[in-house]
Amino acid sequence: MLRYLTAGESHGKSLVVIVEGLPAGLRIEQSEITGELGRRRLGYGRGPRMRFEQDEIEMLAGVRHGRTLGSPVAIEIANTEWPKWVEEMSPAPGRPAKILTAPRPGHADLAGMQKYGFGDARDVLERASARETAARVVAGCLAKALLAEIGVAVLSHITAIGSAVSTSSVRPGVDDLDRVDASEVRCIDVAAAERMVAAIKAAAKVGDSLGGVAEVIAYGVPVGLGSHVHWDRKIDGMLAQALMSIQAVKGVEIGDGFTIAHQLGSEAHDAIFYDEHDDRYIRETTRAGGVEGGITTGGPVIAHVAMKPLATLNRPTLHTVDVVTKEDTVSFKERTDVTAVPAMGVVAETMMSLVLANEALRKFGGDSIAEFTRNHRAFVETCNATPSAVTP
């Protein structure tokens, strides 16, 4: 079982993540983690903070000489801006200098204030902030390293920002990730990428924000992760929950879920073939997103993740109410991004990797990487035999 917890406020001293359940002997280097954090800062449309945020990390526990010990891994990510926020975010008793009382529609502000009895929206927004995803990406980097040991690679690309939608059916492969990341909106459809950048510029000009869609793909996933036997063991359910938990995500689709809902059964499924050369079952289409009955099929696992436009507007126009005076107003103004969709793709990779890594550990187990990979190899060697040959 792979467990992880993140702690930390957006403008607090640092974010902290603890990952428990990794086998011993997993190779991990600080540079890989900082590389992943750098990918999350990518993307045209991010705010000024992304230009100076360093995401400096310190590996506190669980790794020795570049390998996990099997003990909890603890990593801290310092917030570059902390010196400016020492007073406002101080843990010592006292009162903040500036209290935010006009909640932003669409953000967690008002519901969070009501739920926790806060008078200051900052008590909610600091933790609701997408800054927290930096800590998830660190955990995801460890999950990706574990998955790489069994030949699984997870990547994402952006298929829509606002009304700029890519109609290309070309899907990046494992070797295309650098090309995706080289695009300022992480989109390999060059014409669509230009339209996305233009849409971001137009929204920025009027102080507005944009959402969009990322496609997340895991290649090399073995058959048999997740299960049909109970609702909470279905891997598509786990993926949907994990992806939906990303800040500002409002929709998750596994494979072509929303498209095939409108098709006939004879058109909507992935036909099964047997490849005698490689001695394995194959599906030539990916409509089910690599999951049937809550179990991975051995094909690429695919999800589409839809992010709403950010609730913080550079020019707030949406109607809200001041929680002290109850008078009509517009929400407070916070420095913000125009869009964070390119970064959301990287976070979606993280969430998919954490689910797959957890399920891979459940299936293959092992206290060491050698044990984990041996169990994986043994399963893959036998799973394509006819069922009668493996059933006693």
Q: What is the Cα–Cα distance from 218 to 303, expressed in whole angstroms? A: 9
Q: Which stretch binds ligand EPS (CB under 6 A): 130-138, 157-165, 185-193, 234-242?
A: 130-138
Q: What is the Cα–Cα distance from 112 to 128, expressed in whole angstroms? A: 9
112 forms part of the interface with ligand EPS (CB under 6 A): no
Count of Cβ atoms closer than 10 Å to residue 384 Cβ: 16
As a residue count, the chain comes to 392
126 forms part of the interface with ligand EPS (CB under 6 A): no
* Rg for the chain, CA atoms, rounded: 22
Q: Which stretch binds ligand EPS (CB under 6 A): 46-54, 65-73, 82-90, 174-182?
A: 46-54
Residues 6+ apart with CB under 8 A from 202: none
129 forms part of the interface with ligand EPS (CB under 6 A): yes
Residues contacting ligand EPS: total by CB under 6 A: 15
Q: What is the Cα–Cα distance from 280 to 288, expressed in whole angstroms? A: 18
Q: Closest distance between ligand EPS and the C-beta of residue 15, in Å?
A: 9
Nearer to ligand EPS, 88 or 267 (CB): 88
Say how many CA atoms lie within 13 Å of 185 toward its Cβ.
32
Structure tokens at 248: 């500002």
**Cβ pair 76, 16 in contact under 8 A:** yes
Query: Is residue 116 classed exposed, middle or buried when 0-12, 13-18 and 19+ CB atoms within 10 A define those classes?
Result: exposed
Q: Closest distance between ligand EPS and the C-beta of residue 39, in Å?
A: 12
346 forms part of the interface with ligand EPS (CB under 6 A): no
Q: Closest distance between ligand EPS and the C-beta of residue 340, in Å?
A: 7
Among 100, 108, 134, 218, binds ligand EPS (CB under 6 A): 134
Q: How far is CA 157 from the centre of its chain?
A: 12
Query: Is residue 243 classed exposed, middle or buried when 0-12, 13-18 and 19+ CB atoms within 10 A define those classes?
Result: buried
Nearer to ligand EPS, 11 or 157 (CB): 11
Q: Closest distance between ligand EPS and the C-beta of residue 161, in Å?
A: 17
Between residue 55 and residue 74, which ones bind ligand EPS under the rule CB under 6 A? Answer: none
Query: Is residue 154 classed exposed, middle or buried when 0-12, 13-18 and 19+ CB atoms within 10 A define those classes?
Result: buried
Residue that has been written with the tokens 């975010």 in this structure: 89
Q: Closest distance between ligand EPS and the C-beta of residue 9, in Å?
A: 11
**Cβ pair 35, 79 in contact under 8 A:** no
Q: Which stretch binds ligand EPS (CB under 6 A): 229-237, 289-297, 331-339, 354-362?
A: 331-339
Among 22, 100, 130, 199, binds ligand EPS (CB under 6 A): 130
In 3-state terms, the chain is what percent helix, strand and coil (to 5)? 35, 20, 45
Among 53, 109, 215, 236, binds ligand EPS (CB under 6 A): 53
104 forms part of the interface with ligand EPS (CB under 6 A): no
334 forms part of the interface with ligand EPS (CB under 6 A): yes
Q: Which stretch binds ligand EPS (CB under 6 A): 162-170, 174-182, 278-286, 329-337?
A: 329-337
Of 222, 216, 215, 239, nearest to 152 by C-alpha is 222
Q: Which residues pair with residue 218 across a beta bridge?
A: 154, 301
Single-letter code of the amino acid located at 77: I
Among 36, 236, 256, 337, binds ligand EPS (CB under 6 A): 337
Nearer to ligand EPS, 54 or 71 (CB): 54
127 forms part of the interface with ligand EPS (CB under 6 A): no
**Cβ pair 322, 332 in contact under 8 A:** no
Q: Which stretch binds ligand EPS (CB under 6 A): 17-25, 49-57, 164-172, 272-280?
A: 49-57
Among 13, 20, 27, 47, binds ligand EPS (CB under 6 A): 47
Q: Which residue is nearest to ligand EPS (CB)?
A: 129
The residues that touch ligand EPS, with contacts defined as CB under 6 A, are 10, 47, 49-50, 53, 129-131, 133-134, 312, 334-337
